[in-house]
C-alpha cells in the first residue's frame, strides 16, 4: 500500500534520505523510528507528497505520488507532530471543513463525525471553539478528523503527544482496530514503548539510511539483544555508529 523505491533527498551537500527502499502492505501497523535528524520527517514529507524527492519514487495504493498526486492523496491521511487547526471553528465545524476538502456528502460527514466524537470522547467539545481546547483534546480532534474520510493509508507523527494515559489507550485501540480492518498505519514516534506495543513491524532510520527492519523479535536477533525495544534500538544505533567510524578510518 506504501511503496518507496530508491528514495533520496538532498539539501545542497547534505543527504537527508539516502536510497530508501520500503514496502508497507495493506493492513500493517508500521512504526518508523530514528534519532533526531535521522531523516524521519523528510521521509514522511516525501511519502505524503509535501516534498519532492531528489531521486526515487513513492506509490500510495499503486498511484505514483508525482504523476498522480490527487489519486494518491485521496487514499491518504496525515497528522504531523504539530497539527494545525482553524482556531475560530468549533470542533464540529472543523470536521465539516475537513469533510468538504474530501468532497464528502454533508449527511455522511455528520454521521461519521458523531461516530468519531463518541469513540474519541469528544462529544462534550463538539460546539467548543478549537482555540479553547486543551492540547490533548485538540490532538484527539485532529486524529478523528483524519479518519473522517476513511483513508486507506494513515501516516501519523507522534500521535500520543499531550494525551493522558486513558486517552492514549483509546487512540492506540482505535488505530489497532483500523489496522485489523485493513487500513495501513505508518507511525513515527520517539516513544519506543508505544511502537513496541502496537507495531507489526518496525523500521529504524539513521543518517538517512534504513539500518534495521522487522518485527521486534527480528530486531532483537539483529542487535543480539534481549529485553525492551529501547535497549535494542540503542544497540542498533551504536552498532551503526561503530560501523561508520570504522569505514571512515579505512577511507582515510
- The 10s digit of each residue's pLDDT in 183-232 is 999 999 999 999 999 999 999 999 999 999 999 999 999 999 999 999 99
Burial of 174 (0-12, 13-18, 19+ CB in 10 A): middle
List the one residue out of 73, 30, 56 whose CA is nearest residue 183.
30
CB neighbourhood size of 42 (10 A): 22
> Going residue by residue through the chain (252 aa), what tens digit of pLDDT does each one get?
999 999 999 999 999 999 999 999 999 999 999 999 999 999 999 999 999 999 999 999 999 999 999 999 999 999 998 888 999 999 999 999 999 999 999 999 999 999 999 999 999 999 999 999 999 999 999 999 999 999 999 999 998 888 999 999 999 999 999 999 999 999 999 999 999 999 999 999 999 999 999 999 999 999 999 999 999 999 999 999 998 888 777 776
Cell of 247: 569505514
Where does 102-225 have alpha helices with state H? 106-119, 135-146, 165-180, 192-198, 216-223
* Cα 47 from Cα 56, distance rounded (Å): 11
Q: Which residues are 212's β-sheet partners?
A: 204
Q: Could you identify the residue written with the cell 493509508? A: 153
Cell of 210: 534504513
* Cα 173 from Cα 168, distance rounded (Å): 9
CATH (one of 3.30.420.40, 3.40.50.2300, 3.40.50.300, 2.60.40.1220) for 1-13+28-59+158-252: 3.40.50.300
- The 10s digit of each residue's pLDDT in 72-81 is 999 999 999 8
Q: Where are the domains of the chain?
A: 1-13+28-59+158-252, 82-152
* Cα 153 from Cα 47, distance rounded (Å): 11
CB 75 within 8 A of CB 153: yes
CB 74 within 8 A of CB 102: yes
Starting from the edge strand earliest in sequence, which strands make up the sheet with 153-157, in order?
A: 76-79, 153-157, 184-188, 29-33, 201-206, 209-214
CB 231 within 8 A of CB 41: no
Beta strands at 29-33 and 14-24: parallel, antiparallel or unpaired = unpaired
Taking the C-alpha atoms of 214, 215, 220 and 226 in order, what is their torsion angle to the nearest 10 degrees?
170
Amino acid at each position: 500500500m506504501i511503496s518507496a523505491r530508491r528514495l533520496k533527498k538532498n539539501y545542497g551537500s547534505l543527504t537527508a534520505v539516502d536510497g530508501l527502499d520500503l514496502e508497507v502492505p495493506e493492513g500493517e501497523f508500521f512504526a518508523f523510528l530514528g534519532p533526531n535528524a535521522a531523516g524521519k520527517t523528510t521521509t514522511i514529507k516525501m511519502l505524503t507528497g509535501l516534498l519532492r524527492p531528489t531521486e526515487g519514487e513513492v506509490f500510495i495504493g499503486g498511484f505514483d505520488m508525482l504523476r498522480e498526486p490527487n489519486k494518491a492523496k485521496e487514499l491518504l491521511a496525515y497528522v504531523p507532530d504539530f497539527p494545525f487547526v482553524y482556531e475560530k471553528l468549533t470542533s464540529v465545524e472543523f470536521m465539516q471543513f475537513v469533510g468538504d476538502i474530501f468532497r464528502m456528502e454533508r449527511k455522511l460527514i455528520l454521521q461519521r463525525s458523531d461516530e468519531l466524537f463518541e469513540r474519541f470522547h469528544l462529544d462534550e467539545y463538539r460546539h467548543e471553539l478549537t482555540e479553547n481546547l486543551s492540547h490533548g483534546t485538540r490532538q484527539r480532534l485532529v486524529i478523528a478528523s483524519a479518519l473522517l474520510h476513511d483513508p486507506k493509508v494513515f501516516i501519523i507523527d507522534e500521535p500520543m503527544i499531550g494525551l493522558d494515559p486513558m486517552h492514549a489507550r483509546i487512540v492506540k485501540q482505535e488505530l489497532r482496530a483500523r489496522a485489523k480492518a485493513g487500513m495501513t498505519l505508518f507511525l513515527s514516534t520517539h516513544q519506543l514503548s508505544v511502537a513496541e506495543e502496537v507495531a507489526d513491524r518496525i523500521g529504524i532510520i539513521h543518517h538517512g539510511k534504513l539500518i534495521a527492519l522487522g518485527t521486534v523479535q527480528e530486531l532483537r536477533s539483529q542487535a543480539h539483544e534481549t529485553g525492551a525495544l529501547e535497549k535494542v534500538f540503542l544497540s542498533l544505533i551504536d552498532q551503526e555508529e561503530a560501523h561508520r567510524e570504522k569505514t571512515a578510518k579505512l577511507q582515510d
